[in-house]
Amino acid sequence: MRLIEPPGVTHRHVTVDDGCRIHVAEAGTGAPLVLLHGWPQHWYAWRDVIGPLAERFRVICPDLRGLGRSDAAGTDWSLRRLARDVTGVMDALGVDRCGVVGHDWGAVIGYRLALDQPGRVTRLMPMAAPHPWASLGAHPRQVWRPWHVYTAALLGRANNTWLQVPRTCLRTWRRAGAFTPDEEEAYCAVMRRPDARRATARYNRNLIVREVPYFVANARRLTLTLPILHLNGAEDPLTQRLSPAYRTYAPAMRLRDLPGCGHYIAEERTTALIDAVTTFFEPPATAGDPT
């Protein structure tokens, strides 16, 4: 398996409050920008955007707990715990406030971080995920679209190994282009490791048992005032027909669908994402709302 490392990227591990070691890939200087990957990926999902973004930002790409090169300490895979991992990384790197881009798992963790500690997030760009108000007026099919959540929660090890659900998701959720065999294996090899298998099962069980019921019960009490640009692929099978209810609870939020794009925005619409990040996180001083 031969992978091309993006130039200028450095790697380190930092330790967060409960002793878990989190791997971080970094590049560039300037305003800090944290990129949170999704499942079944790790920091390498950002390989095509790190270089261009590092020309303007200090790009910080943690591996989520239990995925990539990060440890899988403890048994807590709640969104609040994973959001504290992000602030733990920020603290270790001397970052008080930052912009946050999150994909898939990273998107919902980004929302939780902004809800829990809004003073630490300047702007938020979630991608390829539902928003916290998705249950308000949700289309009935939205319940069954994330089928992988149920298989991961119920089947444990079998989900990542003999059923090869990660590989299926990499192949079927992408609409523009395709992952090379080496890229597929870079992600799937990690998913076969015991830590990643446990993280996958525990995260999704928590999602079903605690997180979804919480957001359904509390959606009308959740508000965000920071600028948010939520990007979804217009052909992403996981995010079709999301509720417009966010307009009431997040007045500075915009939701945009990228045409001809599936789930993996950073790899399918690389240039469009770089342009969107640059515009959104560095808005012209004389312009209005860039979204």
Question: How far is the C-alpha of 42 from the C-alpha of 70, rounded, in Å?
Answer: 9
**pLDDT per residue as tens digits for the range 166-177:** 898 999 999 999
Query: Average pLDDT of 36-61?
Result: 97
pLDDT at position 3: 73
Phi and psi angles of residue 26, each rounded to the nearest 5 degrees, phi first: -135, 155
DSSP class of residue 287 equals S
Q: What is the pLDDT of residue 137?
A: 81
pLDDT at 164: 75
pLDDT class of 197 with cuts at 50, 70, 90: confident
Return the SS3 of 111.
helix
Residue pair 72/5 in contact (Cβ under 8 Å)? The answer is no
Instruction: Assign 29 a pLDDT band (cuts: 50, 70, 90).
Output: very high
The chain-wide mean pLDDT, for the chain, equals: 90
| Top-confidence residue, 141 or 6 | 6
Is residue 65 a contact partner of residue 20, using CB atoms and an 8 Å limit? yes
Angle at 223 between CA 217 and CA 229, to 5 degrees: 115
pLDDT top residue among 56 and 148: 56
Burial of 125 (0-12, 13-18, 19+ CB in 10 A): buried
DSSP code, position 83: H
- Sorted by sequence, the CB contacts under 8 Å of residue 140 that are 6+ apart come out as none
Query: Is the pLDDT assigned to residue 286 strictly greater than 80?
Result: no
Name the token pair of 80.
Answer: 């609040």
pLDDT value at 158 more than 70: no
Residue 17 has pLDDT above 50, yes or no: yes
- What is the rounded distance in angstroms from the CA atom of residue 236 to the CA atom of residue 263? 5
